[in-house]
């Protein structure tokens, strides 16, 4: 019994020491990843319901008369233990809704549709903001004016549909926060 215990302890000690040695350069990364892994183990089925996706601060830029597209921005948080994907949506102001990213293509910053959607990692969050990931409202039905809100729906691979009401911010706004002018 004593022998078996000491062998087991040795194996445990080795198992604990090996990854640490192998990943010394990724130590910081491994530390931040640990809580996520624990969360996954603690609630394996939690990622299956719509309640696990939280959407904060949705906003859009007001559009110029005749503009055909508008951007949508917000922060997505996944409280569940399973990764999910934002795969599309619909909105009352446009005929089409796409999930886009900004990327440097041939040295030029361009936007493109994410064919497989946007991953929201388990226990993590993703920010949709100008110059990065965003929702693209394509083929606008009307002008989006400053201060005006419009309704939409986002589609997630696992969480399903999530309702959203986005507020229109000034043309050229960089965030959804209301600017304080004194
Ligand atoms: Cu776009």
Q: pLDDT tens for residues 148-157?
A: 899 999 999 9
Strands 53-61 and 125-128, sheet pairing:
unpaired
Same domain membership, residue 81 and residue 162: yes
Q: Are residues 28 and 104 in the same domain?
A: no
Give the Å distance between the CA of 139 and the centre of ligand 1: 12
Is residue 58 a contact partner of residue 73, using CB atoms and an 8 Å limit? yes
Q: 96 with 64: CB under 8 angstroms? A: no
Query: Where would I find the H helices in the chain?
Result: 2-22, 27-42
CA of 110 to the centre of ligand 1 (A): 8
pLDDT confidence band for 178 (50 / 70 / 90): low
Q: How confident is the model at residue 15, as a pLDDT?
A: 42
| Residue 81, domain extent | 48-169
Question: What is the H or E stretch that residue 73 is in?
Answer: strand 69-78
CA of 71 to the centre of ligand 1 (A): 7
CA dihedral 138, 139, 143, 147 (to 10 degrees): -20
Indicate if 17 and 85 belong to the same structural domain: no
In a domain, 175, yes or no: no
Q: How far is the CA of 20 from the centre of ligand 1 (A)?
A: 41
Cα 138 to ligand 1 centre (Å): 9
More confident position, 151 or 28: 151
């Amino acid at each position: 019994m004593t022998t078996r215990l000491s062998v087991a302890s040795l194996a445990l000690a080795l198992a604990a020491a090996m990854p640490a040695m192998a990943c010394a350069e990724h130590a910081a990364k491994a530390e931040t990843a640990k809580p996520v892994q624990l969360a996954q183990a603690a609630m394996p089925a939690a990622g299956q319901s719509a309640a696990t996706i939280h959407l904060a601060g949705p906003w859009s830029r007001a559009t110029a008369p005749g503009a055909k597209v508008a951007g949508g921005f917000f922060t997505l948080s996944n409280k569940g233990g399973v990764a999910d994907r934002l795969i599309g949506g619909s909105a009352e102001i446009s005929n089409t809704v796409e999930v886009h990213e900004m990327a440097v293509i041939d040295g030029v910053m361009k936007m493109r549709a994410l064919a497989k959607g946007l991953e929201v990692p388990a226990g993590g969050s993703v920010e949709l903001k100008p110059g990065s990931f965003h929702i693209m409202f394509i083929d606008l039905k009307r002008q989006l004016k400053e201060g005006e809100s419009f309704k939409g729906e986002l589609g997630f691979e696992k969480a399903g549909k999530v309702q959203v009401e986005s507020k229109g911010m000034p043309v050229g706004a960089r965030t959804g926060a209301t600017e304080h002018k004194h």
